[in-house]
Structure 1
Amino acid sequence: MDTRVLICLLFSGVCFTSAGLDKYVLVEEDKTWYEAQEYCRSRNGDLASVTNMEDLNQLSDMTAVQSWIGLNDFNRKTMDLYPNSWRWSTQTRSRSGYMNFKSGEPNNLSGREECVKTGTDGTWSDYNCSALYHFVCFSGSSNTKTYHLIEQTLSWESAKSYCRTNYTDLAMIENEEENQKVLSNITTSAWIGLFRVPWTFSDGTNSSFRHWWGWEPNNLYNGQLCASVYGGGFTDKRCTRTFPFICSAKIGRKYSRIKIMIESNLDLTNHNTKDNILLQLSASLTRAGRTDFNLSWSAPPEKLDPAGLNDDNH
């Protein structure tokens, strides 16, 4: 069956106006995270991204009340079904295909489980990366793996460093046959190379800066996917709560939008297919001398069930 899809290409050019030099704008209206994002984007901006302590101090000076920023963890909501959240340590930019989580996992207990261990039954669980466990390394190539159980107890990061020094990397498991090979090597729970990419900014800012309060993120009631700033630190909250919010000011940026209709027999729900289409479009635009563009597939995040909207008072 033919599939049609509409792709929008967004070209930008900077117009240096006085308004464009302001980095942030505080909006003192109570909105949900989704409404706040829509408001910021309707004005050619986005919810605020924070890349360093200077940014955070500026935000803290702007507001004394809890306010939404762009940081979110939407991938977690479907992280057992949508593999973009999960990567192997040896291929940090590639998605994971095969996964074998046990029932009820991954659950991101207490909001801090971003690494994966395998159990003695061959099923996987997400766990706090700082916990100490035995671990499984592999040697050889991605096509000819040999697995090695290391009976030292290390954190996930330390285990990864050990494997990279002495073997190839932490265990990469791409099918059931390989999972059974790992299972035959272990007698207790052990780290493998799978980890989750958590908490990203809605405007696509590639920054690893995080300044959570000591008890955050805690994923209270298993539904806190959006972040606010308060008192000089980040907190995770239900996205359906209402707060003031801070936009990244891009009023001085001008955009041109081009729409392209594609008809194809390909499965456009497949991530690899969509990535290949974007790569081909990007290459064509670059050959044509355009560099000021951004290509992406986007869909509005599925809104959380508003039930329990006020069950989080922290």
Structure 2
Amino acid sequence: MIETLKLVFPFVLFFIIGYLFKVKFKYAEEMGQIITKIILYITLPVTIFLSFVSNTENLGNAIYLPFIGLLIPLILFGITYIVSKRLNLDEKTECVFITCPLITNAMLFLSPFIYLVYGDVGLTRLSLYDVGNSITIYMIAQTLFVSYECKRFNLFKGLKTLLMSFPIWGLVAGLVVGGVGIVIPEFIMKPLKIIREVNTFLPLFVLGFYFKPVLDNIKVVFNAVFIKMVLGLCLGIGLSFLFTESIDKITIILASSAPVGAVSLVFASVYGKDTKFASSLVSYSAAVGIIVLTILEYSFNVFGLK
């Protein structure tokens, strides 16, 4: 257990630094959005690109991970939709509640840990899983945020957003470069590797920056976090038996139990939904996510899954 705590400690520290940074200097949450854009447009795509450049030959059954990353959120979405009808929520809160399983914080929350503990091999698996997650975020969740009041869906806009995703292009570029066998010159690789190392710090920092738990609607928050993370974990464990490679199993289990993504808060702000509830969801699920990550990593060692 001590070894597991040593692995998790840096990420807890990064999270705390992000939170204290906001509290100490009293920055508005808009600053967090700027940092998030740096991650999504620069550090994360570069990290994904480099992981695929060196691991395109050993994917095996991992090519099916996007389907798992799509299936689990859709099942959980069905559950939150049914449960929401029993909670009699305000329409703006209900939209955030039912979409929370569709917005998984897989890459932002897990990529630093996966990279440092499991290397590029683990990161390629997480990136593939996140393809399915990206579909649920931009083609389903965003569409629901836009159309929840007028009941008008715009799948074309969701597809356009998905295709403009920089992490997706990082994945595609990495597959092409690695598959063709293109050798990247050292003078290009060196700055890319530096950017990749920055990505081990920034994602947890920005999650700490967003951390703002409140006690309003705590029962509803509990229901959402339970469905998203506990039931998600159960589904992940069950579906992991479809795969033979340990790293594939680990990826599914960790990603299925990942917290609600900060994109939920961004969508709530942009589309006029319940931002306070979205902020609580992101905050509480991130805190729970650190605990769950610690327990799971320890379990992997106990059961010899690594």
Shorter-chain TM-score category?
under 0.3
**Whose helix proportion is higher, 1 or 2?**
2
**Whose strand proportion is higher, 1 or 2?**
1
> Bigger radius of gyration, 1 or 2?
1
Q: TM-score, normalised by structure 2?
A: 0.24
